[in-house]
Structure 1
Amino acid sequence: MSNINNYGVDMNNKTFAELNLSAVKEVSDEVAATCGGGSASIYRDINFKGGGIKFFNGDSNLVNNNFNDTTSSIIITGNERWKFYRDINYKGPSVILGPGRYSFVPNYGIPNDSISSLRRIS
């Protein structure tokens, strides 16, 4: 195993456990998800209008967000794919979409105003 000091790192003869790593902080789930895979934003109207909501991991029941059966357009950022379900709790017919801008969901296999749950799948 190589000595870390061969790479110009000065640890002052301390182990990793002894170092003060105050610069390393916990990040929120939202920040971690954004860094790791982006988000899915759903909108009430076509062309990303009518108010929207952004998800970093998904939601099993859009009723709780007053967004059940109201989605007409979607934006997916990052490198992950998302699965959109007709019913709550990730049930019913579903469609998988990758990163992109989906200005009117029926053009991509999702009936208008039909999404009740969604989640990141990869």
Structure 2
Amino acid sequence: MSNINNYGVDMNEKTLTELNFSTVKELNDEVAATCSGGNAQLFRDANFRGGGITFTGSDANLANNNFNDATSSIVITGNQRWRFYKNTNFRGPSITLGPGRYRRVAGGVNDSISSLKRLS
């Protein structure tokens, strides 16, 4: 048994499942992302098609993920805003997007996003 008893909790050799905590439940991916501040999902094609990649934090060079100049649609979950840059290292023209589903990237950065920054 772990040192959980040092905190005054007696599990009597039971697992968490056996204890059946009514206030504890498994979070689905979208809820978990919202609790953690959300994420940005980038897709190669419009309407959320083609290969996709998910970010929970900033990335200065999308080429490292084989996703440079490839984004055509975006989904942003949670309550954070994100800034998408045309050049690496958060430089060049950019667009800022809040939570939502963007079927087609506008603002002159379609198929030309090279870095993204999660804004606080």
Q: Is contact 2:85-2:109 (8 Å) kept? A: no
**Residue 80 of structure 1 aligns to which amino acid in structure 2?**
Q
**What's the % identity of the aligned pairs?**
61
The normalised TM-score by structure 2 is 0.71
Instruction: Call closer, same or farther: CA 1:94–1:20 in 2, change over 3 Å.
Output: farther
Q: Which residue of 2 aligns with 1:45?
A: 45
Structure 1: 4+ residue segments shifted above 3 A: 18-21
Q: What is the Cα deviation at residue 112 of structure 1? A: 1.6
Q: What is the Cα deviation at residue 20 of structure 1? A: 7.3
Q: What is the Cα deviation at residue 19 of structure 1? A: 4.0
Provide the alpha-carbon RMSD of the alignment.
1.9
Q: Which residue of 2 aligns with 1:62?
A: 62
SS at match of 2:36: helix
The normalised TM-score by structure 1 is 0.70
Task: Pick from 106, 116, 119 the counterpart of residue 118 of structure 1.
Answer: 116
SS at match of 2:63: helix
Instruction: Call closer, same or farther: CA 1:19–1:120 in 2, change over 3 Å.
Output: same
Aligned length: 93
Structure 2 gaps, min length 5? 1-5, 10-31
